[in-house]
Structure 1
Amino acid sequence: MAELFFKDPDLSTPEIAQKLLGCRLRRKSSAGVTSGIIVETEAYLGESDQAAHVYGGKRTASLEAFYQEAGIFYIYNIHGHWCVNMITQSKDEPQGVLIRALEPVEGIDLMQSRRKQDQRRLLTNGPGKLSQALGVDKEVDYGTSVLQDPLTIDFREPRPVAEIARGPRIGIPNKGEWTHKPLRFYVKGNPYVSSPKGRTQNDHGWLA
């Protein structure tokens, strides 16, 4: 099944991070459905990655989802905001992809209400922002499958990307060589990227 590409043992986590661009992250709640197309991701490469939560083999109750099989959500809190990650490798091989930004699609009014923000471009252009806009709840969504409600990733018919740009991950200083590794991927020219470089494009960087 095409939607299970993340279970392909031949795909590296950086490759999966790029394949997620154009897929849709969706959350259902009693308030309504909200969703957006993934436009920015970051890859985290496990116990050797100094920027990863599991660096050095760290394993705690809050990190347990990181050690599960591919296709599980790992959700954590930073500065009071939830961040959404998808686990990408086999059980006990803790690697994952952080979803950094979305292009809003469904439930815009609900997103604006949750974010107390009217500007559409600022609703989901960061990992904490998109979680707030979608109403992500760690108590409900942590450790669940990306294929099961209420929080899901739709891998069917991803929107085709014209060009994928890459660069260092954001907000991880003092991590040696890992600070500068180009493990952040984004849709070039998309205005909803968290730290856009260069000119935004009228087509938002999509082929269709």
Structure 2
Amino acid sequence: MEPVTIGSATLYCGDCMDILPTLGKVDAVVTDPPFGMAFQSKYRVNQHMVIANDDTEELLIHACNIPVTHSRYVFCRWDNLKSVPDPKSVITWVKNNHSMGDLEHEHGRKTELCLFYPGPEHKFPSGRPNDVITAPRTGNDLHPTQKPVSLMSHIVNWTSGVILDPFMGSGTTGVAAVQMDRQFIGIEREPKYFDIACKRIDDAQRQGRLI
């Protein structure tokens, strides 16, 4: 399938393992890959699709090793740390409420982790940032692990050059990128989420032009 171009964004509907080898090296990766949770919310009236390949850490480990010139930011769970390459920093996202999890034998999880790997040409664009971001959760209306735009905007602002998200989902990283006038490449294998991402990124491009 040919990519869809929306302003500064180039979007592919397909398997990133097939598409990534055709792209060459990119500047930055900002992504939330499947990381072995086999996630399926049991508390939604309208259930989302099960996330493909979320029963293994294979794609998470692959995302941590994508060649970049500037940086990689890769979301994960705390217990993935034993499986991935050692990051330079671990960013903590502090949410406004906690997830369910084990209600009797586990502390309420109010944080999520993002691994930082600098590339050979890395330099923070606006000075050294802190390793904590506070941002409210979304209602996950568009995707089961949907991230807030405010969260992804923080991370995009720490990168330089072309941003790649090989697990685009509903397109939040792309929305943050185009709002900041950044070039973006997104890949999503599920047509349903790809269509949602295209619409959101197109809306963000139009709003940017209006601004």
TM bucket (normalised to shorter chain) is under 0.3
TM-score (norm 1): 0.26
TM-score (norm 2): 0.26
